[in-house]
């Protein structure tokens, strides 16, 4: 492999080049593919790929054993917070570690900062709460909801699905389970080329849930789907499962798994489902507004409770997908203010606690803007961020 600098050609080990880039997000960029095809790469392009992949540039000129050891150490650090394997429910999608590595690194770094600067943090009570595989599903759901200080009645009483989602996030963060949400251009990594639901990141005090945005490919309205995703990921934290996660919200698999059923019982308790007794497609839609989830989630839950057959569920899900695809998209999205975007990606709880560390002089304004805001905010905008979390 040749690095082209002006008229000069500097040889580097092709194995070193591929090892560094295939294990980083930079390996998803077209510059990498072109270099493999041509056997050469311009110096400026290599520098740009190194920056995008957070790769020390000198490593491209290091011996292969040194490079392999550095990649091994980086992967070990990532896997300390999240498992390499994707946790999938009814989905064939897989998530490569490089697809989300920079987000993982950033959230782990923020966990470390928070532990360093906030002595009030306690050992997390939600993590590992549901270790027993033999407890009845409904009992596990009730136990987790109680520990979070959340009830299905409170969720149903929310006037909109957006407010129900906010309530769930508030209760998780009140219990030191931090929630980060995808915001394009305000994260350290783009997610336009990967479809996944999110991930859970290990920490004994402040585990993180990251909720991915965008198109999940199962044709459901976004907010109701996100509510079920969040419940499912709360179950993963309680089950001590830390991994990127994909799930198909329109799956009729005969056994999507214990975690899926616990999430379903949290949001759509069996006794309430029995009272509503949804049977028709319109019933599913009406119940979805009651439970603040999607009609697809109600359909699958009804099937799991043997209220409808698998064939009926598959037919309803097909109709719901067709209806969703025909729904107008609603025009261009409104612009989000930078401070609101930073708050959404970081989560309110982490932002508030790190602002407290800033006010206490434990971190400078410059370091706050760099490590907490990823340089998306200047010191002059910190007060706007304060107002955004009030």
H/E element, 208: strand 208-211
Looking at the DSSP assignment, which residues form a beta bridge with residue 40? 2
| Gap between the Cα atoms of 246 and 361, Å rounded | 41
28 DSSP 8-state letter: G
For residue 36 the two structure tokens come to 């493999």
Across the chain, which has 390 residues, the per-10-residue mean pLDDT values are 90 93 77 91 92 87 92 76 75 78 88 93 95 93 98 96 97 98 88 82 95 68 91 96 84 78 96 95 96 95 95 94 80 79 96 96 91 92 95
* Residue 161 Rama label (left phi>0; alpha psi -120 to 50; beta): alpha
Give the C-alpha distances (Å, rounded to integers) separating 99 from 10, 29, 119, 183, 199.
Answer: 30, 11, 33, 16, 12
Place of tokens 């969040």: 230
CA pair distance 14, 49, nearest whole angstrom: 15
Other residues' Cβ atoms within 10 Å of the Cβ of residue 125: 13
Query: Can you read off the two tokens belonging to residue 345?
Result: 């990606």
Q: Which of 136, 159, 74 is nearest to 108 (CA)?
A: 74
Q: Whats the size of the chain, residue-wise?
A: 390
pLDDT of res. 224: 92
* Structure confidence at residue 148 (pLDDT): 98
Q: By three-state DSSP, how is residue 143 classified?
A: helix
Burial of 114 (0-12, 13-18, 19+ CB in 10 A): buried
Which tokens go with 380?
């002059």
pLDDT score of 133: 86
pLDDT computed for residue 215 by the predictor: 58
């Amino acid at each position: 492999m040749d690095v082209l600098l002006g008229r000069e050609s500097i040889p580097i080990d092709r194995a070193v080049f591929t090892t560094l880039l295939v294990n980083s997000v930079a390996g998803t960029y077209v510059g990498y593919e072109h270099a493999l095809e041509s056997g050469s790469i311009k110096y400026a392009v290599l520098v740009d790929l190194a920056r995008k992949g957070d790769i020390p540039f000198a490593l491209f000129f290091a011996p292969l054993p040194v490079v392999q050891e550095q990649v091994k150490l980086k992967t070990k650090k990532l896997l300390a917070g999240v498992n390499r394997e994707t946790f999938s429910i009814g989905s064939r999608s897989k998530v490569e570690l490089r697809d989300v590595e920079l987000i993982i690194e950033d959230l782990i770094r923020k966990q470390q900062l928070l532990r360093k600067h906030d002595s009030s943090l306690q050992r997390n009570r939600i993590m590992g709460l549901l270790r027993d595989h033999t407890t009845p599903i409904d009992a596990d759901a009730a136990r987790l909801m109680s520990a979070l200080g959340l009830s299905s009645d409170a969720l149903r009483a929310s006037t909109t699905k957006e407010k129900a989602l906010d309530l769930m996030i508030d209760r998780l963060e009140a219990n030191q389970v931090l929630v980060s949400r995808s915001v394009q251009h305000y994260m350290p990594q783009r997610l336009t080329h990967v479809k996944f639901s999110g991930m859970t990141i290990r920490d004994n005090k402040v585990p993180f849930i990251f909720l991915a945005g965008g198109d999940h490919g199962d044709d459901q309205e976004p907010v109701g789907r996100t509510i079920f995703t969040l419940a499912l990921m709360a179950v993963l934290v309680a089950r001590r499962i830390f991994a990127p996660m994909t799930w198909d919200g329109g799956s009729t698999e005969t056994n999507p798994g214990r975690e899926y059923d616990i999430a379903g019982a949290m949001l759509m308790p069996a006794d309430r489902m029995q009272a509503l007794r949804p049977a028709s497609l319109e019933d599913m839609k009406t119940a979805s507004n009651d439970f603040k989830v999607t009609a697809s989630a109600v359909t699958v839950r009804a099937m799991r409770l043997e209220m409808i057959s698998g064939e009926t569920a598959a037919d309803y899900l097909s109709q719901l997908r067709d209806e969703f695809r025909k729904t107008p998209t609603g025009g261009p999205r409104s612009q989000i203010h930078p401070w609101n975007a930073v708050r959404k990606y970081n989560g309110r709880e982490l932002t508030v606690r790190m602002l407290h560390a800033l006010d206490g002089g434990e971190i400078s304004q410059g370091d706050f803007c760099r490590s907490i805001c990823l340089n998306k905010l200047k010191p002059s905008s910190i007060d706007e961020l304060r107002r955004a979390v009030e």
